[in-house]
Each structure stands twice: as C-alpha cells, then as structure tokens.
Copies of this chain bind each other. A is one copy, B any other.
Amino acid sequence: MAGRRPGQTQTRDDILAAARNQFGQHGYNGATIRGIATEAGVNPALVHHFFRSKEQVFVAALNLPMTPSTIADAILRGPREQIGERVIRLFLGLWSAPESGQTFLALVRSVSSNEHIASLMRQFLEHTVVGPVSAALDLPPLRITGAAAQGIGLAMARYVIKVEPLASATDDEVVELVAPVLQHYFTP
C-alpha cells in the first residue's frame, strides 16, 4: 500500500465489496465491471485501473493468493503421468506458505458458514478450474470435481480439523498418500 493515499484503499475496498455482491447475485458470467463500478459508485475505468480484468477483480474479491490461470497452468504443464504429484505439491506449497496458507484457511472457514462465499467458490471452481482443466485433459468434468473434493477434504482434515497422523505427516508423506488418487482422477 506504500504511496497510496488512504482514500484509494477505501475505494478499492468499496469496489471489492460491490464485486462480492455482484458476483454473488449475477454469477461470474453475469457480473460486469460496469455493474460493479455502478454499485461501488465509481467510474468503470477506475475498476480497470485497480484490477485490469474481471478475473482479477474476482481473485481479489475472493482474496485468492494466485490467479485461476496459474493453477490451471501448473496442472497442465509437464508430463501427464506426473500430474497428480504436481497438483499435490503445488497445493501443499501454497498451504505451507504463511500468507497464502492463512488466506486459504480463512476461505475454507468462510465457505462453510457463508452461503455468499460458497457461491463465489462454486463459480470459481466451475468456471476457472473444472471447465478449463477438463477441456484441456479431455476428461469428464465430474472427474475434475472428484479431484477438487479430495483437495478440499485434505485441507479440512489436515489444516482445520487437524486429524492425526495426517496433520503432522510431512509433505512428502502426503504426496505419497494423495498423488496416486489425483493421478487416478486425471487419467482417462
């Protein structure tokens, strides 16, 4: 925030609050930068100035530590027979890093208790993970949701419920445990 005037932070927060509302009401596809700007009482150009694209507004509204395209890239880049291991290592890396780990934890907690956030997460998963990955891998979308469910449950069990011995297993042990399952979901 260095160099920003306090008013800009407030404006940015107003835009994000409007974005959460617009995405919640109209869905990812239905929401527009114009609609978000109108609700926030600012010029659409200002939304573009802060966030550049609808996807970036969405990422900021959900407080995600990375863009969906980064996730899809990481899943799709590299040999297909190692896709399960790549995904779980990316996942564990993000959860272990203090900043993104905190963000994910807040997200998992709020998804369960807040229908509004659940709706944003649903749209995020459908439009930016399940759709693109199933198209790129030529797999039924249901398979991708199975893998996503395994990831969400791993986060819940390891980082929220903290069930042993999963909570104190090393990352390598978790990779060995979960990579074959993700590989199964990502294999025709």
Chain A positions near chain B (C-beta within 8 angstroms):
108-109, 111-113, 118, 121-122, 125-126, 130, 140-143, 145-146, 148-158, 160-166, 169, 173, 177-178, 180-181, 184-185
Contact = CB atoms under 8 A, between A and B. Distances in A.
- If over half of A's interface residues share one DSSP class (helix, strand or loop), that class is named, otherwise mixed; here it is helix
B181 A150 contact: yes
A126 B164 contact: yes
Contacts of A156: 111-112, 149, 152-153, 156
A170 B113 CA distance: 25
Given A112-B112, A143-B177, A184-B181, A148 B160 contact: no
Contacts of A149: 150, 153-154, 156-158, 166, 178
